[in-house]
Chains A and B, each alone.
Chain A
């Protein structure tokens, strides 16, 4: 699975959009980009994933560049409860089910402030 690089920390004002970047320049054609977050002392939580098209769900939007070398997770209206460490992970679609494993990096610590 491709290595991902994220800034160690970011701040965002409550109510504003939080844009979290991720670099995955060595991603291969069959690797998806997954985003998780870990709120303090809790288990990681799946947010969203994508292959090459932009994706949106009730939690966030995912923008993947056309060359797929980077992506941005967007929390459209950040709240204090969105303060967490956000992880970007590339995982091969081939490794489905039994053999898939998530390799967590250091992530981005997002601090949402009043």
Chain B
């Protein structure tokens, strides 16, 4: 069983569209994250949710809206997509240890 899963794996869309990426973890963790990895391979945290509550928001544009229907799911909705949103987006969850995060396989978003 995949611990942290994301859908879709690839997403190609036009500028201005709205799209969502879904993430699910079956590890029973309370805290989940979204990271963005740009074309230069820098991996940066975007959001963190604990038990459906927003904990960390790293000054991400408000076009990005995470939603957590329950603690096993953290979805990312992006409005009015821009070229600069093209990146790989990773979902992660954290267990008992402060630094041990479990990452999903990533969603490669391409905005044309």
Q: At the interface, yes or no: A49 with Cβ under 8 Å from chain B?
A: yes
- The answer to whether A99 touches B103, judged by C-beta atoms less than 8 angstroms apart, is no
Chain B positions 84 through 112: 1 when the CB is less than 8 Å from some CB of chain A, otherwise 0: 00001010101001111111111000000
Are B56 and A104 interface neighbours, CB within 8 A? no
Partner of A43 from the list B44, B94, B97, B103 (CB cut-off 8 Å) is: B103
Interface residues contributed by chain B, number (CB under 8 Å): 28
**Complex interface: stretch among A21-29, A70-78, A87-95:** A87-95
In the bound complex, residues from chain B placing their C-beta under 8 Å from that of A32 are 98-99
Task: Return the contact of A106 from the options B42, B90, B101 (Cβ within 8 A).
Answer: B42
CA distance A43 to B44 in the complex (A): 13
B→A interface (CB under 8 Å): 4, 30-31, 33, 41-45, 48, 50, 55-56, 58, 88, 90, 92, 94, 97-106
